[in-house]
């Protein structure tokens, strides 16, 4: 049996960071196990290629939620990246730190050492954002750029937001998140900068780092209260490897609790009901699942050319040529062009809603098929949902997808926030600056006016925006799965370093926070002091 100092389960965003940081000194032998493959698709470096990858089973686990009454019995897609780089290969590349109070709330909930003053140095360590002020990192491995493209309708939308009383904010990742402006994306020179590009690819030449793709982890190996290794299946053969220091789970908020439960770590009654022997009772495994829920409002527009027309025919050929010669144009766009972080009530201390404006509309959003006529969309999302669900295995088969029960819109605060958020979006669109461009509102449409109608639209049409977290949350109470050092409670030799440890949702897209957790987690593992 081969032995490594550290075995990292999962080669996604967190796994890439850990592989780089833990192998950098050359002192430790590190193994990364990734169930997916190498990131070889031609669509990965092209930002607009995310639309091709979100439905590609080679790069996406294609998870779906269990149908629930709150969302009209729909099975909602929960894409998760598959392959080295994980979801950073297929996501919309939007980079958001969140609000300082998000992390202070983590600390208040028992995640000691994870307040904003503790995590802010790690955001600066990971960032390479040249336009930023002194609050932003400029020499980190993760390249970030502001969206470069400008269009008449996006400029008009920003003007309309100001007419509505909102503020313009050039850097929502600096002193204040509130306001409207152009998104920041993890890109470099017009190409996607994935966690694989930033962290793992430069480290792969190190002789002390071994990366195994196509390695589907079956279970963790335990001897008493110590995790001693991992068993995985690769090319039809089961292989067990040992660790001399630690196994580090970095499989994400869906698959980390799945692997723990398959290994006999979790709620005893659930494991026993599936015929799995209980190795270590931990009631919080798979609980506290939180995700961002969003609706998409769209309008038929006029007097402008939108992505609907630019992404087909001769216009598309022109854009392809522009991209390959200049790294500019519509192929550099991800899921958001203009951002908005808004207070939906005047009494709130900080924004509770996020907007994603793009001058495009889908005829079929699930299949990423654009309308043929000009259109624009505003994605509307509550920043910090109170609704909490769970993720648990449904069988002892490690290849069976787990049951994902998000419980969306079960909390009255969430219901009112999503309704208020859509009302504000409609109000902005009614400002004079948009008058020359708007033909009519397509969805939800002018007939939707009462709170009950707005909520019904959200229940029928809302989707996750792919930010699952919290299913192995850190803390000090009985339901916490890991302590603030990210060590699994009651066991030695096992840590979790991924989105599953986040105790509460952050205010915005979570990719940046996942990488921050991995940066800080690597220091905790190596016993280093806080980043400066």
Question: Are 77 and 463 a contacting pair, CB within 8 Å?
Answer: yes
What are the tokens at 430? 């009614």
Phi/psi at 101 (5° precision) = -65, -20
Region class of 390: left (phi > 0), else alpha (psi between -120 and 50), else beta: beta
- The separation between the first and the last C-alpha atoms of the chain, rounded to the nearest angstrom, is 40
What would the two tokens of residue 284 be? 């919080």
Q: What is the pLDDT along the chain (532 residues), one digit of tens a residue?
A: 899 999 999 999 999 999 999 999 999 999 999 999 999 999 999 999 998 998 899 999 999 999 999 999 999 999 999 999 999 999 999 999 999 999 999 999 999 999 999 999 999 999 999 999 999 999 999 999 999 999 999 999 999 999 999 999 999 999 899 999 999 999 999 999 999 999 999 999 999 999 999 999 999 999 999 999 999 999 999 999 999 999 999 999 999 999 999 999 999 999 999 999 999 999 999 999 999 999 999 999 999 999 999 988 999 899 999 999 999 999 999 999 999 999 999 999 999 999 999 999 987 666 678 899 999 999 999 999 999 999 999 999 999 999 999 999 999 999 999 999 999 999 999 999 999 999 999 999 999 999 999 999 999 999 999 999 999 999 999 999 999 999 999 999 999 999 999 999 999 999 999 999 999 999 999 998 765 5
Transcribe 460-496 into DSSP letters.
HH-EE-S--B-TT-B-SSTT-SB-TT-BBTT-BSEEE
Quickly tell me which residue has 């609980």 as its tokens.
Answer: 287
Q: Tell whether the torsion through CA atoms of 148, 151, 154 and 155 is positive or negative.
A: positive
CA–CA distances in Å: residue 501 to residues 161, 218, 284: 36, 21, 11
Q: What is the DSSP letter of 247?
A: E
**327 CB-contact burial (10 Å; exposed 0-12 / middle 13-18 / buried 19+):** middle
The DSSP H or E segment spanning 3 is: strand 3-9
| Beta strands per DSSP E along 224-274 | 226-234, 237-249, 265-266
CA distance 121 to 79: 30
Residue 312 is encoded by which pair of tokens? 């087909």
Q: How far apart are CA 154 and CA 159, in angstroms?
A: 9
Q: Is residue 72 left, alpha or beta, with left meaning phi > 0 and alpha meaning psi from -120 to 50?
A: left
Alpha-carbon distance of 243 to 494, in angstroms, equals: 10
Going from N- to C-terminal start, the domains of the chain cover 3-526
User: Is 467 among the residues known to form the active site?
Assistant: yes
Instruction: Output phi, psi for 464, to 5 deg.
Output: -70, 150
* Cα–Cα nearest to 357, from 435, 274, 428: 428
CA-based nearest residue to 489, from 290, 284, 289, 286: 284
Closest listed residue to residue 322, CA positions, set 72, 74, 82, 149: 149
| Cα 490 to chain centroid, rounded | 29
Residues 6+ apart with CB under 8 A from 450: none
* Ramachandran class of 136: left when φ > 0, alpha when ψ lies in -120 to 50, beta otherwise: beta
Whole-number Cα distances in Å, 529 to 121, 196, 399, 524, 526: 12, 25, 39, 8, 9
Q: From CA 182, how far away is CA 460, in angstroms rounded?
A: 29
Name the pairing type of β-strands 375-382 and 293-301: antiparallel
Other Cβ atoms within 10 Å of 496 Cβ, number: 28
Q: So what's the pLDDT on residue 369?
A: 81
143, 339, 392, 467: the catalytic one is 467
Helices (H), 283-341: 307-310, 313-326
Give CA–CA dist 149/357, Å, rounded. Answer: 13
CA atoms of 406 and 323, how far apart (whole Å): 39
275 Cβ contact list (under 8 Å, min separation 6): 396
The span from the CA of 63 to the CA of 80, in Å, is 7
Helix (H) or strand (E) holding 453: helix 451-461
Nearest alpha carbon to residue 448 among 418, 411, 406, 409: 418
Largest CA-CA distance found in the chain, in angstroms, rounded:
70
> What would the pLDDT profile of 64-80 be if each residue is shown by its tens digit?
999 999 999 999 999 99
Tell me which architecture the domain covering 3-526 has in CATH. Answer: 3-Layer(bba) Sandwich (3.50)
pLDDT at res. 362: 84
Cβ within 8 Å of residue 208, ≥6 positions away: 23, 26, 27, 28, 29, 30
142-143 and 127-128 beta bridge pairing: parallel
pTM of whole model > 0.75?
yes
CA-to-CA separations, 496 to 318, 473, 474, 524, in angstroms, rounded: 47, 9, 9, 11
Q: Give yes or no for a cis peptide into 444 (omega within 30° of 0).
A: yes
């Amino acid at each position: 049996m081969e032995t490594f100092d550290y075995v990292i389960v999962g080669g996604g965003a967190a796994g890439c960071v850990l592989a780089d940081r833990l192998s950098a000194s050359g002192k430790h032998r590190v193994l990364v196990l990734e169930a997916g493959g190498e990131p070889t698709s031609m669509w990965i470096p092209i930002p607009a290629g995310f639309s091709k990858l979100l439905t590609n089973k080679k790069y996406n686990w294609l998870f779906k939620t269990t149908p629930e009454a709150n969302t009209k019995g729909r099975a909602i897609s929960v894409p998760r990246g598959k392959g080295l780089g994980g979801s950073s290969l297929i996501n919309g590349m939007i980079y958001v730190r969140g609000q300082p109070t998000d992390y202070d709330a983590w600390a208040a909930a028992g995640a000691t050492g994870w307040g904003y003053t503790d995590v802010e140095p790690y955001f600066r360590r990971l960032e390479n954002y040249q336009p930023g002020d002194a609050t932003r990192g400029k020499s980190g491995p993760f390249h970030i750029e502001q969206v470069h493209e400008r269009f008449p309708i996006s400029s008009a939308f920003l003007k309309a937001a100001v007419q509505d009383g909102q503020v313009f904010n050039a850097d929502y990742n600096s002193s204040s998140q509130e306001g409207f402006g152009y998104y920041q994306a993890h890109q470099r020179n017009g190409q996607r900068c994935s966690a694989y590009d930033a962290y793992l690819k430069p480290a792969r030449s190190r002789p002390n780092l071994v990366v195994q793709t196509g390695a589907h982890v079956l279970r963790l190996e335990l001897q008493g209260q110590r995790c001693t290794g991992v068993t995985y299946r690769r090319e039809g053969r089961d292989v067990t490897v040992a660790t001399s220091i630690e196994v580090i789970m970095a499989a994400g908020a869906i698959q980390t609790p799945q692997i723990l439960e398959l290994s006999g770590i979790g709620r005893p009654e659930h494991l026993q009901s599936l015929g799995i022997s209980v190795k270590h009772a931990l009631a919080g495994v798979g609980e506290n699942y939180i995700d961002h829920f969003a609706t998409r409002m769209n309008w038929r527009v006029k007097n402008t050319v939108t992505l609907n027309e630019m992404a087909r025919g001769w216009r598309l050929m022109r854009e392809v040529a522009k991209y390959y010669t200049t790294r500019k144009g519509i192929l550099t766009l991800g899921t958001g062009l203009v951002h908005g972080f808004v207070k939906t009530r005047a009494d709130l201390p900080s924004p509770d809603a996020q907007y994603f404006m793009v001058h495009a509309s889908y005829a079929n959003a699930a299949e990423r098929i654009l309308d043929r006529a000009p259109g624009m969309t505003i994605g509307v999302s509550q920043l910090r949902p109170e609704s909490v669900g769970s993720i648990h295995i449904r069988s002892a088969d490690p290849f069976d997808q787990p049951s994902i029960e998000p419980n969306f819109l079960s909390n009255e605060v969430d219901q009112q926030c999503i309704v208020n958020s859509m009302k504000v979006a409609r109000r902005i669109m009614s400002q004079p600056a948009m008058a020359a461009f708007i033909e009519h509102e397509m969805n939800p449409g002018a007939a939707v006016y009462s709170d009950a109608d707005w909520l019904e639209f959200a229940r029928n049409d809302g989707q996750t925006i792919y930010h699952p977290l919290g299913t192995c949350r850190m803390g000090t109470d009985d339901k916490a799965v890991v302590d603030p050092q990210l060590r699994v409670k009651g066991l030695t030799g096992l840590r979790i370093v991924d989105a599953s440890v986040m105790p509460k949702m952050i205010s915005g897209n979570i990719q940046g926070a996942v990488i921050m957790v991995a940066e800080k987690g690597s220091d905790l593992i190596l016993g280093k002091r806080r980043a400066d």
